[in-house]
Amino acid sequence: MSLNYPLIFKPTFRDYIWGGRRLGTVLGKPIPEDGIFAESWEVVDHGEDQSVVANGPEAGKTLGELVQQFPQDLFGVKAPTETFPLLFKFLDANRDLSIQVHPNDAQGAQLDPPDLGKTEAWYILDAQPGAKVYVGLKEGVTREDLAQAVEQDTVIETMHVLQPQAGDCLFIPANTVHALGKGLLVAEIQQASNTTFRLYDWGRVGADGKPRALHIEQSLDTIDYDKGPVQPQTPQATSDPEIERLVTCDKFVLDRWEFDDRKSIGDEKRFHIVAVLEGKVRSSHAHLDQALGKGSTFLVPAACGPLSLRALEPTVLLDMYLP
């Protein structure tokens, strides 16, 4: 028995206070009729947070169980790990997120319990007029400058601010202070970590009416003050004119595909996470014989090999995998 077919998972939702309704109205996610929803976790294996298979012979199993049962089938020639190393999600920022920072792997290993670091990349699906991202410190801001800004409630003045457009990609390495602003719909690929240190939270309160916890000293200790401002990624050409490389780092590779015919995705060396951003595709695989439109996500294990996709209309998708 092998894990040789493309996997669809049941999304899990996070109802953080900054969320909205666009995960349902724009991306077609089955969010409940009432409430606000900030994140849809599409592929995750992080402690009790587990994606559950929705199709094929392994339906009902968690991603963590698949990692343990089919490590070679899933990872291919890439060294299997005890847990799935990446997490993919969609985010609906209806309000500004906190100014925050994530540790690197070495820092995460010192936590109790230990966690991975969190390097991430954002792909902007939609940006309402005036929407902003806060990405890195302005040039020359030191730890002392930032600590003083915290005391004086002027943290935002130390941040590098951009107004992104749909189609922009921003790479946020661990130790980079950052925040999404209100009015953004985003796809995010990241290390499978959920450790966040909040530096600033706009003076607001949580659902319980109390100010949300800040982690000022941890944030100040975690930030890399030499990183400076973050700029949008410049897409790089590949050997295929329909594929652009948006990010290459030691944690993941992120490619954007734009096509309107047939293409094969995946290989026998590694897994691929695929997310449809525009258009619609169909696979001929028996366990994925359905049209997959905007917001659809699936995982192609290494043992599946190349998966043939047919674009039913002009399509844009993200392909994410280990380097």
Q: What is the pLDDT of residues 250-294, one digit of tens each?
A: 999 999 999 999 999 988 899 999 999 999 999 989 999 999 999
Residue 214 near residue 261 (C-beta atoms within 8 A): no
Residue 79 pLDDT exceeds 90: no
The answer on whether 178 is annotated among ligand-binding residues is: yes
The mean of the pLDDT values for the chain is 97
Residue 314 pLDDT exceeds 90: yes
- Give the amino acid at 317: L
pTM of the model: 0.97
**C-alpha pair distances (Å), 188 with each of 104, 150, 172, 198, 305:** 17, 28, 10, 19, 25
For residue 303, give the DSSP letter. Answer: G
Nearest CA-CA partner of 227 in 174, 151, 181, 301: 174
pLDDT at residue 1, rounded to an integer: 82
Residue 53 pLDDT exceeds 90: yes
The predicted model gives 161-173 an average pLDDT of 98
For the chain, list the domains and their CATH numbers: 9-222 (2.60.120.10), 236-321 (2.60.120.10)
Q: Cβ atoms within 10 A of the Cβ of 239, count?
A: 5
pLDDT at residue 230, rounded to an integer: 98
Nearest CA-CA partner of 194 in 251, 118, 250, 249: 118
The answer on whether 102 is annotated among ligand-binding residues is: yes
The predicted model gives 139-155 an average pLDDT of 98
For residue 79, give the DSSP letter. Answer: P
Catalytic residues, which ones?
A: 198
CA angle centred on 28, ends 172 and 128, rounded to 5°: 50
The answer on whether 160 is annotated among ligand-binding residues is: no
The predicted model gives 96-112 an average pLDDT of 97
